[in-house]
Chain A
């Protein structure tokens, strides 16, 4: 399969791993953060830790949109869906995210009209199919998914589709990275930069990380060879004491980003003054809301939303894990109260969440932990 097989070829992977071992100074411990949840998933899915030397530590970043959404926003979305004749449409990975009174899937089992869609355009199709109902699309994601939501809103307005709205939870990646770097308990040597987000925003927005924070960042693809090559590029910069933005994923990511996508976002969205992130707290100018010109399709304008802040269960240490301060298995609830089937925190829900990735692919390799995973 093109773009897959050649990036998983064993001899190339072994070669890259050898290069990493050659470049890594055995006296030094490297802490590299992969910002994007897709990378976290790939690291575990491909077992990349098995081919890396032990002094290269990968720290999982905040780039999983399902994980960073606070529970109050899930409750808000479900409160809209509880109103009569509303169809709740969302991506599949939102279906098991816990709200105060259960996940969308549990609401569906209790009779709520919950539909899985594969794109916001599918949600529009639902609205056309059900003119007697209101279709509310629960939009989440970084700049990766924001343009498709924007284009959907443009189309809804053009079609005068009045039974459709978007509950917008789009967030932006740069403020989250800034919050991580501002965190006093965080020491990092470099970043594996997000691949999908960068297809939209390009590489320029990361330049301050290199210039001001003196950290190298390499925008990376998601195949095993992509990620190993990105680590090679980071180690080369660190060896030469450099801090630059590099683009390993140039086959997909243009340096300047995708102008059309950015224009669509600018047409529909504006920055919120602040937005709450799970684990990171309120971050200013870190999320998007729908512009007044599209208010008719903005679920927050059309419906009454409780907007109640819900604090995470005290014992759950999602915040520390999200910031990379704790490893998933170091959380008190990991594998006991909190499992992918019965998630307490969102990092256990999404396949891009570091807890779910660690739980699914890693922790039972060590048999002393086997008992944790047996059903109660």
Chain B
């Protein structure tokens, strides 16, 4: 013991002291962030203070790539608009995409509960194969474990993906400045509300469908416009080392899954130290989602998405990026939903057309049943 104490000159700063793991620690909100930043990051990444992103960027022999992993424990396995297999592919594809990587290869791990009907498994493998083909990612390997009946809920899927970095993408929330524009790719809350209703605990019906899909084509569209138009005051996307004094045109991207748009933007506000101001009327929300949220006392900004993304771009690129999104299939409903301002520093403020304002925080706890 004493030897260890001597060697331990710079113990990792473990800040997570909660006695047990609660559901909230997996819900993607504040508690998740405390767990990751307070326990995982100090023990696994040491004192590195890089902001935590959806995918890591690594370099092997000078080739830079993005790598990410995600687990899927959704219930029910099949729901309107998708299934666990599609989510498992698209979730990892989207984490790569918003890190600025083109999804290339994926490996898959299944944890199966003894007694699972083969037909159920086959359906999900087929769903994965189709989703992978659509998203242009190759599944190249995998692993299977079976646990005793009762030790897992039907099936859990973990996917790990790697991708090649798009040229000139250099995302860093710390380069975000007051005046930058916030783009959203389409209507929010469809996935979270669809799952909630698919669980059958609430007696109302809707024609909502999960939005699960690959968002890479949309990310690629704004990356292309960032590199082809050279907004004054920002670096062209390709050959970004030409003007190191200028900022890249795309500064930050995130797919707002668990915890929703509010949680992603609160993370941005915290990482850049600035205020995020949203204009509520510009945020696209389907009526079914709005109605369910009104009835259940939820905010669409806290509801999970599986096929949308947020981007912060320099103001000069805002209109061109929006145009590029709207002209790409699946991006028709994209909007500029707000901008970065000095105040309220570190927080997200929602403004309404009649002049009322409110702060919107990260999701606290887990208001919904498990959804992804």
Contacts and interface: CB of A to CB of B under 8 A. Distances in A.
B291 interface: yes
Q: What size tier do the contact residues of chain B reach?
A: 35 or more
A374 B270 contact: yes
Interface stretch (B51-59, B134-142, B316-324, B358-366): B358-366
A293 interface: no
A28 interface: no
B31 interface: yes
Given A109-B20, A110-B20, A341-B31, A51 B202 contact: no
Nearest to B17: A376
B339 to A, nearest CB: 17
Contacts of B346: 364, 367, 370, 373-374
A13 interface: yes
A44 interface: yes
A360 interface: yes
Nearest to A45: B358
A325 interface: no
B21 A47 contact: no
A341 B357 contact: no
B347 A373 contact: yes
Contacts of B356: 13, 46-48, 50-51, 224
B130 to A, nearest CB: 34
B331 to A, nearest CB: 25
B290 interface: yes
A122 B201 contact: yes
A110 B34 CA distance: 20
A4 B294 contact: yes
Nearest to B18: A342
Contacts of B365: 96, 105, 340-341
Q: Is the interface of B mostly helix, strand, loop or mixed?
A: loop
B195 to A, nearest CB: 15
A218 B354 CA distance: 23
A363 interface: yes
Contacts of B343: 367
A50 B355 contact: yes
Contacts of B144: none
Contact of B22 (A105, A363, A364): A105
Interface in B103-127: none
Given A1-B290, A341-B364, A351 B355 contact: no
Contact of B344 (A14, A50, A351, A370): A370
B345 interface: yes
Nearest to A343: B364
Contacts of A240: none
B358 A44 contact: yes
A96 B275 CA distance: 29
Interface string A37-54: 000000011111011000
B367 A362 contact: no
Interface string A344-376: 000000010000000011111111001001111
A16 to B, nearest CB: 9
Interface in B52-85: none
Nearest to B202: A118
Interface string A88-132: 000010001000000001101110000000100010000000000
B147 interface: no
B358 A362 contact: yes
A351 B297 CA distance: 9
A362 B201 contact: no
B353 interface: yes
Interface in B23-49: 23-24, 30-31, 33-34
A336 interface: no
B308 to A, nearest CB: 21
Contacts of A340: 361, 364-365
Contacts of B287: 1
Contacts of B351: 47
7 contacts: A14-B355, A50-B355, A341-B30, A360-B358, A362-B358, A365-B344, A374-B346
Interface of A: 1, 4, 8-10, 13-14, 17, 44-48, 50-51, 92, 96, 105-106, 108-110, 118, 122, 224, 340-341, 351, 360-367, 370, 373-376
Task: Identify the 6 closest CB pairs spanning chains A and B, nearest first.
Answer: A47-B356, A13-B354, A361-B358, A10-B354, A10-B353, A364-B347
Given A47-B357, A360-B361, 8 more contacts: A10-B352, A47-B356, A105-B23, A341-B31, A341-B365, A364-B359, A365-B347, A367-B346
